[in-house]
Amino acid sequence: MKAAPEGLFKPKPTSSQAKGEMTTRVARSIIEGEVSQRDAKTARLRAMRLAREAEIAAAPPPAKPAPARRSRKA
């Protein structure tokens, strides 16, 4: 008689294990979605910041206004 190969008869997970695995899968998918959204937002904000910094660097600095003269009181 041949021995059954390993893993042929896998024990079925209990209902609590199945629920726990489903919860874990759902939580991980939610977290992965949030990570991808955060990465996209970070990339978008970085691009906007770099564009603004390049725009500021290209523009000449504003001239300082002349100081106001103080009047003498007699």
pLDDT over 70, % of the chain = 89
In the prediction, which pLDDT does 32 show? 97
In the prediction, which pLDDT does 53 show? 93
Give the global pTM: 0.55
- Look at 28 and 18; give whichever has higher pLDDT: 28
Q: What is the pLDDT of residues 44-59, one digit of tens each?
A: 999 999 999 999 888 8
- Extents of the domains making up the chain: 16-58
Contacts (Cβ under 8 Å, ≥6 apart) of 13: 21
